[in-house]
Structure 1
């Protein structure tokens, strides 16, 4: 009998403890003010008739730390991350809507806020995010930059505003965020020239800067060379002009990725500029005019880097070296993607590029002056090769009969206008994933498998 009494007492105590610690809904971390703020956010995302965030509910004992898109600190149980990317219903994409930055003030420990892909038209008010380190607003419909209360956003490290409709120049509210390590502004309508002093050069801690696909113009500021921590630099598809800014790159020895495609630089420069950039892995340049002359042989160099991707497109290449093939490529063994197109390179087909780089997935030597022999090692297989393009070269040789066996996973095979002759190789039938095949304007004959 005594045992049952003790059991009953402990049962009552357990219920009391559960009521005091668990039933109030905050022991699990779902603080009242944070739950209410989340539910208001849900209303904003679903206005007028959406169905997003179904797990966010107003049940008294629902723990918001378990809701989708929410991550809480294990100790304080406060919200530290909100992954609200692609949350706004697609069917509401044409309805203009806005968010007030004050909606996030209750989340005093918030460190990461993802709002990308939500068709957001406006972010109203000053952004005062004391602890936020990552803010992602890409893929929306913003036309104006959000304003940052700098005194209340001291820890912001990554800011992504790409793929919006932003216009004008980069405001001081952005270039004064000196804690930034990553800034991406690609695919907007930004215009004007970059300040030769201050501006982006204030961001000494930048690791990644992406200004691609805008309408910037003028010369690049020489002070960008002071961003010595920079690892990724995208300047592609703008209207930057003036002489090629080789002086900037002398000091940027940490760079892993450089993209300079479709800008309007002039003058000449040698890739030997990057000979000692041992971290370099990706280099992309496409010339929008004939005023930029690129040399790889004068002076000759042995690179300290191993590239993963290289694109040189539509440039005046090695004009002083008889348009020869870049010899520094003899020292590259890790290439995954290679494009040397519209360059008028002379010489025989460089089969050694394939032999040296067995993990290639993309190979494009179109619109050059390569001749045969067209040789491929019959004992090798490039299992990762998906796209092979040697169109518009005067090869004048037969297609290797085993081409389909050594490139079994090809998706695209383009060899038009190469003066190819001889029989159609039956092994192409082994490329079971092939989507694009162009062998037009050649002299092939015989049976078509």
Structure 2
């Protein structure tokens, strides 16, 4: 830095790199940390502007680095810093180091830490690797914030040396192993957040001296064992969250006597026993005990929690739930501050009467219970202006009359016993999700349903509706994401005309009686991911015009009257996202086009976006479909994002199976059965390593079964029956598990799982002339010495007899 001259262009200085277009400094490699104030932002600048455009800062050696008078401000103002090299840096003189929300990467070095550092914030910075033991040298550290980095390994034991820590935030990393008991020395903690890591073993019993702790979050780990008894000493604890672990045993009653506790989340664990008495924790306003193994009844003392705003005890094994007994006019049974209640799967037999006093309620979930009959009239007065979510699905309700809530967003009544015609609806415009699926509704779908201008999900599936689709639904196509009317008795043509601003993501009309062509306006639905029109009477050709839909993943047209060939794709990106294709039970003809399969990129390799979704559409609505899997028709209630199927069975396809199908390496199921396919089974099918079922039955396939298919170690079901296959059945891996019905109807097959053993190979003998004794003598001389074995192929024997008859006929003529 001694060579730096403020009178010259700083971009020419040693260790300085500038952007050739803007002249801004983008990289500094400093032997000594005493930055010249004349060069931070623009080349040749003489002012003291801050280095906001700096992209890389390299501070290499402690022995050459001087104490920076402006270090704190320099680090905090590097708003575009992307790479920070701290190797060997002595951070002397820095009290606060904040590098959060920067796209940095690399390892946190084993540096000579500054013992006076008080705040270290690297949140969302991208640092990875193991947290170094040298962090224990930061004796003055009060706040350590490492939220959403990529740290791995265990917590260093030296962390126990940081006895002045008040905030320890390690959430959303990849830390693993057990939490060291040495954390007991951190008795100044106000906040301890270890959530969303991979910690295992018991929660350490280290809370005897944590009387200053206000927030404890251990959620989303793999902790097991009981809740440690020392938690009873957390006298100032306000929030406790140990949800989504493997915690077992009973809920200690001491948790409900913590004097400052307002939020308790023990959900998604393995807790058992009875729910404790809530009466002892009058400060509680948020309680979540859902998804455990609790039993018994909810204590009546719950009604003395005057501050309670959120209560969830869903998905437990509660019986004799005394909430149903509160349907008396007892004015003491009221939760005046309640905003949200979830009692799903709690054996509730009546809508709890205490809700009639909940004038500000926003969220009610009483699904999966035993509520019978009509919805009580007083329910419609609950939260007239506040209620936004009502879920009464999976009960035994028989009717409903009106929907008066002005700000309702979600109304879910699916899987009940609601009968008769659907009355004219007067739903508020605020409704975005409306489901009456799986009831017993009949008659026409009223046009008043289209008055919900903001409707996003409309699910009327699995009822007995008749008539046509209300044409007025076209008026909400710019907001409608899901239209599900599958498995009704709707008829006519699919006459919906979607406009260019259509938002449709899923369309399920399968299992009806629709006729005519496929709706061409679907090409305007650029967001469409799932299209299921199977099980109708549609009459059209293959919809190659759907290839322009960039997001289409599921295309089901099974069991219709579609015909003609499948044409080659017209663009480079045709059906590139498609991963479920079901055209079975139609009248498609012609060969299987190799070019079409070559464009199915989503079946060849994982999406470049690296989607981590486990299921399609993980929102409130879940796509479902019927598919032939492993030889059986199955209802798939939730479609896995990894499910990849091609089903072209029961058509009139001809020719050979294209080798390119062997490139669809993500295929789980392939069904080409009941066609007119011929030729050999392609050897490249042996590369389908993910394949779980393969059905090539009822075709005209010939030759042997390739031994390459033994590489399919995921294969559970194989069916090559009713073809013209010959030779021995391969052995090894999955082929040792398949039964005889996988091969029946192939008279030339022999070997394992069949009663026909394969003959040892013997070179064919030259046919002799007929002896004087005629045909009978010939058979004795030629066949008897060979002793016809069980494995002799019928086709060879037939050819031999035909040859004998032909030779006999020739001699008689002579």
User: TM-score by structure 2 length?
Assistant: 0.42
Q: Judge conservation of contact 1:228–1:252 (CA < 8 Å) in 2.
A: yes
Gaps of 5+ in 2: 1-36, 39-47, 49-65, 102-115, 472-814
How many residues matched?
Answer: 382
2:226 is equivalent to residue 193 of structure 1: yes
- 1-structure distance, mates of 2:399, 2:291: 31
**Closer, same or farther: CA 211–324 of 1 in aligned 2, 3 Å:** same
2:396 is equivalent to residue 369 of structure 1: yes
Choose the corresponding residue for 1:420, options 441, 444, 465: 441
Q: Judge conservation of contact 1:422–1:445 (CA < 8 Å) in 2.
A: yes
Name the counterpart of 2:174: 141
| Higher RCO (Cα < 8 Å, 6 or more apart) | 1
1:215 Cα deviation from its structure 2 partner: 1.5
- 2-structure distance, mates of 1:189, 1:293: 32
Name the counterpart of 1:439: 460
- 1-structure distance, mates of 2:457, 2:218: 34
Equivalent position SS for 2:313: strand
Choose the corresponding residue for 1:258, options 287, 293, 304: 287
Q: Judge conservation of contact 1:246–1:273 (CA < 8 Å) in 2.
A: no
Name the counterpart of 1:181: 214
Name the counterpart of 1:85: 123
Name the counterpart of 2:143: 111
Choose the corresponding residue for 2:200, options 167, 189, 212: 167
**What is the CA deviation profile of residues 256-308 of structure 1, one whole-angstrom value per residue up to 9, with x for unaligned ones?**
111111222223334x321111110000012433x533112435443243211
1:122 Cα deviation from its structure 2 partner: 3.0
Equivalent position SS for 2:152: coil
- 1-structure distance, mates of 2:214, 2:138: 26
1:438 Cα deviation from its structure 2 partner: 1.7
2:379 is equivalent to residue 340 of structure 1: no
**Closer, same or farther: CA 228–63 of 1 in aligned 2, 3 Å:** closer
Q: Judge conservation of contact 1:208–1:233 (CA < 8 Å) in 2.
A: yes
Name the counterpart of 1:389: 412
Name the counterpart of 1:283: 311
Q: Judge conservation of contact 2:181–2:205 (CA < 8 Å) in 1.
A: no
1:443 Cα deviation from its structure 2 partner: 2.9
Q: Judge conservation of contact 1:138–1:163 (CA < 8 Å) in 2.
A: yes
**Closer, same or farther: CA 393–190 of 1 in aligned 2, 3 Å:** same
User: TM-score by structure 1 length?
Assistant: 0.73
**What is the CA deviation profile of residues 114-138 of structure 1, one whole-angstrom value per residue up to 9, with x for unaligned ones?**
4334243333232233443222212
- 1-structure distance, mates of 2:175, 2:97: 31
- 2-structure distance, mates of 1:228, 1:151: 22
Q: How does 1:230-245 map to 2 (within 5 A)?
A: 230-242=261-273, 244-245=274-275
1:226 Cα deviation from its structure 2 partner: 3.1
- 2-structure distance, mates of 1:355, 1:222: 37
Q: How does 1:184-223 map to 2 (within 5 A)?
A: 184-195=217-228, 198-223=229-254
Name the counterpart of 1:329: 355
1:390 Cα deviation from its structure 2 partner: 0.5
**Closer, same or farther: CA 436–107 of 1 in aligned 2, 3 Å:** farther
Q: Judge conservation of contact 1:190–1:215 (CA < 8 Å) in 2.
A: yes
**What is the CA deviation profile of residues 160-198 of structure 1, one whole-angstrom value per residue up to 9, with x for unaligned ones?**
112211111111345643321211111221112235xx3
**Closer, same or farther: CA 144–235 of 1 in aligned 2, 3 Å:** same
1:372 Cα deviation from its structure 2 partner: 2.1
- 1-structure distance, mates of 2:162, 2:279: 37
Q: Judge conservation of contact 2:98–2:122 (CA < 8 Å) in 1.
A: no
Larger radius of gyration: 2
Name the counterpart of 2:430: 408
1:359 Cα deviation from its structure 2 partner: 2.7
**Closer, same or farther: CA 111–237 of 1 in aligned 2, 3 Å:** same
- 2-structure distance, mates of 1:262, 1:132: 34
Q: Judge conservation of contact 1:132–1:155 (CA < 8 Å) in 2.
A: yes
1:313 Cα deviation from its structure 2 partner: 1.1
Q: Judge conservation of contact 2:154–2:178 (CA < 8 Å) in 1.
A: no
**Closer, same or farther: CA 341–441 of 1 in aligned 2, 3 Å:** same
Q: Judge conservation of contact 1:82–1:113 (CA < 8 Å) in 2.
A: yes
1:409 Cα deviation from its structure 2 partner: 4.5
Equivalent position SS for 1:302: coil
Name the counterpart of 1:54: 82
Name the counterpart of 1:132: 165
1:104 Cα deviation from its structure 2 partner: 6.8
- 2-structure distance, mates of 1:156, 1:31: 27
- 2-structure distance, mates of 1:131, 1:403: 61
- 2-structure distance, mates of 1:287, 1:151: 35
